A and B are shown apart, each in its own frame.
Chain A
Amino acid sequence: MRLRPLHSVCWPADHRAQPVRSKVRHGMTLVEVMIYACLFSMILAGLSLLLSTQAQIDSKMQRLDALNAIRQSSNKLSLWLEFGTHLLYPPVASDTDHWFDKLLFADSNHEKRLLYIDPQRRLKMRSESGSLLTLADHVIEFGIKRLDESLVVFRIKVQEPKGKKFFIISNSIQLRNAEPQFPREIP
């Protein structure tokens, strides 16, 4: 819309001497104010949307991180166990519903390794030679069950860092290097 200059508008004579410009310059038209209001509301809405989206993204990312971490820890544990030579603990399950919370096994080089949860709820693996590896954080539960001389089932339950949701991963592993033991119990 093209506006006409204000001085060409017919005003009463006693008003012509007044400095009209200075008064008008400080004002805004209603349309402009509305446009500003609209713009600001849009910006605010966008910002709040962005912020809330960011929070959701962060939450989802943390969840993804937790999921990824639990998957990684399961992979690492599987890798160590697959090449293992012997299981020292837990004993072969007589009660299939009972889960143990620690695992002691000998790796491919006959070095003993212990899996446990520390008081900070981290799943750790300590070797006989002293090396320490953290496999997962925020662990609610680590359960292990031994089905026979060389077959174990484990499950890891992890809580997302700033949320209430948790994830469980479970896997069964056969120790590929375990030598068959002479069956003591003859059926």
Chain B
Amino acid sequence: MTQKPSNNGPVLREHVYDGIQEYDQKLPNWWLFTWYITMAWFVIAWFAYYQLNLGESGPEQVERELAAIKSSQLKALEKLSDDKLWAMSQDEKVVAAGAATFATTCVACHGPDLSAKIAGAKLPGLPLNDAEWKHGGAPLQILNLVRKGAPDVTKGMPPWEGQLGLNRVVEVVAFILSKHKQGEPVTLATDSPLKK
């Protein structure tokens, strides 16, 4: 008990280092208790997660959320049909929303006029303004392709359902259909995987 600081003021230690002296103050209580709380928090959290099995791991949480999205999408998809999509292609509001998404997301590969060309130069995508379709020209076929994509390093299409969400995908398809007419002839491209 040689250097116990009294309440009359801090103890100045006698040792001097190159002119520097040190008080020997008590540790501030708020500082100490904050620290104890952070330590207690560690013990509580670890105990809750590993001993009581409370809480979810990251993958568990994502899988649960994805499953919920999937079931709501399934419900929405049940309501869709070729006729319904054609009808949507006549709905100005839906088409305008689809056009807006197209202008930011699809235009780079399919071109502003859907020709997959810009100033004569060929873009990476396929033209969407002609009657030739690689993966089928029926509205639900188009919808399915935009949703799931057809990844391929030569003429690939990424899946868009995750990034855009089903609603936007439906709108984009409605926009594309608005450039076509129901009942127009549909031909399959020569390299179509559907041809066989």
The finding on whether chains A and B are genuine partners in a shared complex, rather than unrelated, reads: no
Give the A-binding residues of B (Cβ under 8 A): none
